[in-house]
Amino acid sequence: MTEFKGVFIVADGLGGRPTDTPEGKTCLEAARTPHLDELARRGALGLLDPIAPGVRPGSDTAHLSLFGYDPFEEYPGRGVFEAVGVGLEVHEGDVCFRTNFATVDEDFVVKDRRAGRIHEGQEELERALQGLQPRSAPDVEVLFKASTEHRGALVLRGPDLSPSVSEADPHATGQRVREVVPLEDTPQARRTAQILNEIIRRSYEILKDLPLNRDRAAKGLPPANLLLPRGPSTVPRFETLPRRYGIKGAVIAAGALYIGIGRLLGLEFHRAEGATGGLDTDIRSKIALALEELQTKDFVFVHIKGTDTAGHDRNARAKIEFLERIDEALGALVEGLDWERTHLAFTGDHATPIAYGDHVSDPVPVLFVGPNVLPDATEAFHERAALRGGLHRFAGRVVPMLAGYNNWLRKFGT
Ligand code: ZN
Ligand code: ZN
């Protein structure tokens, strides 16, 4: 193991705006966060542009950037992260998609893109969709796995496939599911579009009469009656973190996307008990597992999603409460980390302000603390404090900076 260890915690959608609350405070300013404030006093703050100033990040591209990969060069599309994250094996040449269970009417008009964020029955839905073999392409294998809530992943495996196809998801309710069309004039893209259209149609035939969906209809819940693939991607070949830094690392996350990013970057995945990827997640359990993993690993990446979910829900109260729960859980880290030989980086992958309800390009606060970090004068952890932080403002590359403090970097030049 290396001399120093690294802990990298991402609270998804962490950042906010002064419009978050009527008092003109961001959610992070309004939240009571004594542990983060103590870490801010011991360490240094900065403002992080997740990708670059003026680039509105997705969570996937932002994470790649934070890990030190250039998303403009290396972003393969989202689907593969989701597929690897749900535990599907992927091969070079596969085309991967993330999927939603959605609710549509008989004319394929979308009533709910997330089937009411369905909480049960994923196994039944997954089982039902195992017969999705496209009749128009018998040489193509279709793999499907459900994940948390409405999420899942789809992999097409076979000759002559292409990720250059349009999305079926209209990204709005009250609109019809779109016909998938090829985005380039190749037989591969035409064939892939045709396969997808068949899969979407067949998913409705298979799902609409499932007992689960009859039950949901009886309870007045939106049925999960359509599989909506999106985010087509290829399978990338990243230089993994273990290779880049000569380390062993783990990823602790619940959302498939984040598990997938971690695994594709060479981190070992560990499931924390009670981690759901939602607002009801057990953050303490994740932090406890991180401490445990650090016994045998050099690096642990912990991802916490609830902050982003509350932001998308435009629920300031929920975001503030969730931030306070993160802070409580961090108490165990403040107590339990070997602070003489560990560096911690804590940040978000972007801001998800309450009034906007989606990701924005604003920079987010970032905190570094550990024996090699020169402390600055900040005494609290939030956006306004970060404006005065000693690390000033920088873009992406949080993990390479952490690696720098940990003396893991190879010299550039001689
Ligand atoms: Zn995010
Ligand atoms: Zn988000």
SS3 400: helix
How far does residue 312's CA lie from ligand 2's centre (Å)? Answer: 6
How far does residue 355's CA lie from ligand 2's centre (Å)? Answer: 14
Give the pLDDT of residue 131: 76
How far does residue 23's CA lie from ligand 2's centre (Å)? Answer: 24
Tens digits of per-residue pLDDT, 129-172?
A: 997 888 889 999 999 999 888 999 999 999 999 999 999 999 99
Tens digits of per-residue pLDDT, 171-222?
A: 999 999 999 999 999 999 999 999 999 999 999 999 999 999 999 999 999 9
Strand locations in 204-247 (E): 226-233
Spatial CA neighbour of 305 closest among 344, 257, 266: 257
Q: Which ligand is nearest to the CA of 12?
A: 1
Q: In whole angstroms, give the CA distance from residue 210 to residue 148.
A: 19
DSSP-assigned beta bridge partners for residue 44: 368
Measured between its terminal Cα atoms, the distance across the chain in Å is 26
Cβ atoms of 193 and 183 closer than 8 Å:
no
How far does residue 258's CA lie from ligand 1's centre (Å)? Answer: 9
Spatial CA neighbour of 17 closest among 394, 355, 358: 355
Spell out the domains of the chain, with CATH numbers in brackets. Answer: 5-76+238-405 (3.40.720.10), 83-233 (no CATH)
Give the pLDDT of residue 204: 96
Give the pLDDT of residue 149: 87
The pLDDT mean for the chain works out to 96
pLDDT beneath 70: ranges in the chain: none
Runs of H (alpha helix) within 48-142 = 59-66, 71-74, 79-85, 122-128
Q: In whole angstroms, give the CA distance from residue 88 to residue 81.
A: 10
